[in-house]
C-alpha cells in the first residue's frame, strides 16, 4: 500500500490554529499524520494532540511513531464528544478537520475507492465496519441509486447510470471497480475535459457509504462546544456539499440571533454569537496546486470561539 500523502494547506492550517506550546489540539482526520506532525513540532513537552481516524491502517501508522504527546483514537470524528469524555478532556485549544479521503486510501487497490484499478468494490474508510458499496448496489432500488449519485456526486446523468447499474446487476453482481467504471462510462454521454466519466459516481458512492455528510453535520456542533474561549476550529473541505455545510454552520454561529421586529435593544445587550469568523475562505496557492493536483478543490474556513 502506498504511504505517500501530502497534506493540503499544511502551513496555513497550523498557522490558523495559532497553537500554544502547552495546548491540547484535536486532529479529526489523522490520515498519515501530516497535520499532527506539524502541530506537534509547534508544541512543547506539555502539549498534546488527540488524533481521530476511522481507518485502522492510519491508526497503525500513528502507533509506530513512539510519540508520548500523541493520543490516537480509532473512531469517526462524529464521536468527538464521547471520546474526549472518555479521555477526561473537557475543552481543547483547537480542532482541525481535514475532510475527504487520503491518498493512501485512494491509491490502495484493495480499498476499492478508485476506478484506476480493477479491484473489489468496497470504498469503506473502515473496512472492519459498515457495508461495502458492492453489497449496497446489489439491494438498492433504482431510485435510491439515482438519488445518491445525483445528490452526492452532482451528476446530471444519474438516472441513466442508475438504470445501467440495475440492468447489469440482473445479469451478474457488480463486485469490481472496473465493472462499475465501465457501466458508468457507457451511460455518461459527455464529461468535462480531463475528467473520467466515473469520477462523480465513485465520489458519490464513497461519500454515501461512509456517511461523510452526516458525520460532518454531527461533528460541527460538538467541536464548537469543546473549544475553549479563543480556541479555533479549522476545516478543510474538498467537496462543495461539505464546504456548504461548514460555511452555513460558521455563518449561523457567528451572526447575532435575530431579534423580534420592533424590539429596542441596546447594542451592549445584544446576544453575542459563540463564534467569530477568522478566515471566511482560503484556497491553496497556484504553486501548491501545481505540486499536488488533489489540492485543487480544497477550501479552508476558520472560526474562533468567543465565549
Q: Let me know if the fold of 10-103+212-305 is the same as that of 126-209.
A: no
Annotated binding residue 105: yes
Q: Which three cell numbers stand for residue 165?
A: 447499474
Give the residue extent of every domain in the chain: 10-103+212-305, 126-209
**What dotted CATH number matches 126-209?**
1.10.150.170
Contacts of 99 (CB under 8 A, 6+ apart): 29, 212, 216, 235, 236, 237, 238, 239, 242
Other CB atoms within a 10 A radius of the CB of residue 8 amount to 23
Q: Percentage helix, strand, coil, to 5, in the chain?
A: 45, 15, 40
Q: Is 53 annotated as a binding residue?
A: yes
**C-alpha to C-alpha distances, 156 to 147, 150, 159, 252, nearest whole angstrom:** 11, 7, 8, 30
pLDDT digits (tens, 9 = 90+) for 109-160: 677 778 888 999 999 999 888 999 999 999 999 999 999 999 999 999 999 9
Alpha helices in 118-211 (DSSP H): 133-139, 142-153, 158-169, 177-187, 199-209
Distance CA 180, CA 226 (A): 42
The response to whether 122 counts as a known ligand-binding position is no
Residue 69, pLDDT score: 97
What does pTM read for this prediction?
A: 0.91
Bridge partners of residue 299, in order along the sequence? 237
In tens, the pLDDT along 218-271 reads 999 999 999 999 999 999 999 999 999 999 999 999 987 766 666 666 666 667
> Is 55 one of the annotated binding-site residues?
no
pLDDT tens sequence across 59-77: 999 999 989 999 999 999 9
5 assigned ligand-binding residue: no
Was 34 annotated as part of a binding site? yes
Tell me if 77 is assigned to a ligand binding site: yes
Domain 10-103+212-305 of CATH type 3.40.718.10: no
Decide: helix, strand or coil at residue 3.
coil
Amino acid at each position: 500500500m502506498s504511504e505517500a500523502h501530502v497534506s493540503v494547506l499544511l502551513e496555513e492550517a497550523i498557522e490558523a490554529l495559532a497553537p500554544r506550546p502547552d495546548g491540547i489540539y484535536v486532529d479529526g482526520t489523522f490520515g498519515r499524520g501530516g497535520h499532527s506532525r506539524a502541530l506537534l513540532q509547534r508544541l512543547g513537552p506539555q502539549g498534546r494532540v488527540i488524533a481521530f481516524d476511522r481507518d485502522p491502517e492510519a491508526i497503525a501508522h500513528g502507533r509506530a511513531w513512539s510519540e508520548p504527546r500523541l493520543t490516537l483514537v480509532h473512531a469517526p470524528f462524529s464521536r468527538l464528544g464521547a471520546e474526549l469524555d472518555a479521555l477526561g478532556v473537557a475543552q481543547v485549544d483547537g480542532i482541525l478537520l481535514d475532510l475527504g479521503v487520503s491518498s493512501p486510501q485512494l491509491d490502495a487497490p484493495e480499498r476499492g475507492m478508485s476506478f484506476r484499478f480493477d479491484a473489489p468494490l468496497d470504498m469503506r474508510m473502515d473496512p472492519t465496519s459498515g457495508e461495502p458499496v458492492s453489497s449496497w448496489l446489489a439491494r438498492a432500488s433504482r431510485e435510491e441509486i439515482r438519488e445518491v449519485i445525483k445528490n452526492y456526486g452532482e451528476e446530471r446523468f444519474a438516472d441513466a447510470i442508475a438504470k445501467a447499474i440495475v440492468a447489469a446487476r440482473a445479469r451478474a453482481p457488480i463486485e469490481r471497480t472496473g465493472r462499475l467504471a465501465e457501466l458508468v462510462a457507457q451511460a455518461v454521454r459527455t464529461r468535462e475535459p480531463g475528467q473520467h466519466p466515473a469520477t462523480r459516481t465513485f465520489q458519490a458512492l464513497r461519500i454515501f457509504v461512509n456517511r461523510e455528510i452526516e458525520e460532518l453535520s454531527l461533528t460541527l456542533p460538538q467541536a464548537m462546544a469543546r473549544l475553549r474561549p479563543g480556541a479555533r476550529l479549522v476545516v478543510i473541505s474538498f467537496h462543495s456539499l461539505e464546504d456548504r455545510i461548514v460555511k452555513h454552520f460558521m455563518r449561523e454561529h457567528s451572526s447575532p440571533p435575530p431579534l423580534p421586529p420592533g424590539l429596542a435593544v441596546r447594542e451592549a445587550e445584544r446576544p453575542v454569537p459563540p463564534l467569530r469568523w477568522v478566515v471566511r475562505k482560503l484556497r491553496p496557492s497556484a504553486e501548491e496546486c501545481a505540486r499536488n493536483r488533489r489540492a485543487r478543490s480544497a477550501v479552508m474556513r476558520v472560526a474562533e470561539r468567543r465565549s
